[in-house]
């Protein structure tokens, strides 16, 4: 499973809950799911019996903690996948520019769903936002890394998740990933999906992230409206 596949499957209704239920059974259960009937490791067996969406949802559920999975599932339901998330964020910012009477940079304004950087951007943003409340400690990191290994993730995904988990939380570093205002909107929207605005620490993180991304209040408001309710 690669990064794009994980995000496309995970950003769908109910999959976060399904995956988290499987992950809560423990690493031994996950290990069994990653083996075929002959006892040999098989990522295809994992995805066939478990479902790629539930695996992806399980990873994101583990990142966020069980208390958030229901809320995240509702937020993600209206998105549909990594490309849809990116396209939506781009549209919100481009609409804002038009209302301001600004002429957008044509190259920046166009969303390229075939650009793999979008998936990396979204996943890094989600992992960072998930750490904002401090629930991802060393023990939790080990569980998540084991889950990634058991799901048959490819090397790029395994390495990315591990690196992002162990980094100190720094909204300015995440903001620096954006190469355009549209990508800044994409980062903020991805972060909104996993962050709980009712949690003081996560709310503070989102506020600082928006500041570092240099997003106008109207843009952040419109992005928040996309996943509200």
Most confidently modeled range among 21-35, 135-149, 212-226: 212-226
Q: Which carries the bigger pLDDT value, residue 179 or residue 36?
A: 179
Q: Where are the domains of the chain?
A: 3-226
- Percent of the chain clearing pLDDT 70 (strictly above): 64
- Asked whether the beta carbons of 141 and 165 are under 8 A apart, the reply is yes
The predicted pLDDT at position 113 comes to 77
Q: Which carries the bigger pLDDT value, residue 74 or residue 193?
A: 193
pLDDT digits (tens, 9 = 90+) for 119-171: 888 889 988 988 888 877 888 788 778 777 776 778 888 888 889 989 999 99
- Asked whether the beta carbons of 133 and 196 are under 8 A apart, the reply is yes
Residue 194 reports pLDDT greater than 60: yes
Position 115 confidence tier, pLDDT thresholds 50, 70, 90? confident
Residue 215 reports pLDDT greater than 70: yes
- Asked whether the beta carbons of 148 and 158 are under 8 A apart, the reply is yes
pTM over 0.85: no
Mean pLDDT for 7-21 is 52
The predicted pLDDT at position 36 comes to 40
The predicted pLDDT at position 155 comes to 83
Mean pLDDT for 39-62 is 43
The predicted pLDDT at position 189 comes to 92
Residue 75 reports pLDDT greater than 60: no
């Amino acid at each position: 499973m690669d990064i794009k596949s994980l995000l496309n499957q995970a950003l769908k209704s109910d999959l976060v809950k399904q995956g988290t239920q499987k992950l809560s059974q423990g690493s031994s259960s996950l290990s069994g799911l990653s083996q075929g009937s002959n006892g040999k490791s098989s990522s295809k067996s994992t995805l066939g019996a478990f479902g790629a969406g539930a695996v992806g949802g399980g990873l994101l559920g583990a990142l966020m903690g069980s208390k958030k999975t229901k809320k995240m599932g509702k937020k993600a339901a209206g998105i549909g996948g990594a490309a849809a998330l990116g396209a939506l964020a781009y549209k919100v910012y481009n609409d804002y520019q038009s209302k301001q009477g600004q002429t957008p940079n044509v190259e920046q304004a166009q969303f390229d769903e075939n650009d793999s950087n979008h998936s990396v951007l979204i996943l890094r943003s989600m992992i960072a936002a998930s750490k904002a409340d401090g629930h991802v400690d060393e023990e939790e990191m080990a569980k998540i890394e084991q889950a990634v290994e058991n799901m048959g993730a490819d090397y790029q995904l395994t390495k990315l998740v591990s690196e992002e988990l162990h980094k100190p939380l720094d909204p300015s570093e995440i903001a620096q990933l954006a190469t355009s205002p549209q990508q800044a909107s994409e980062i903020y929207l991805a972060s909104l999906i996993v962050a709980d605005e009712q949690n003081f620490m996560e709310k503070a993180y989102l506020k600082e992230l928006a500041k570092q991304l240099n997003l106008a209040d109207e843009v952040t408001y419109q992005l928040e409206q996309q996943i509200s309710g």
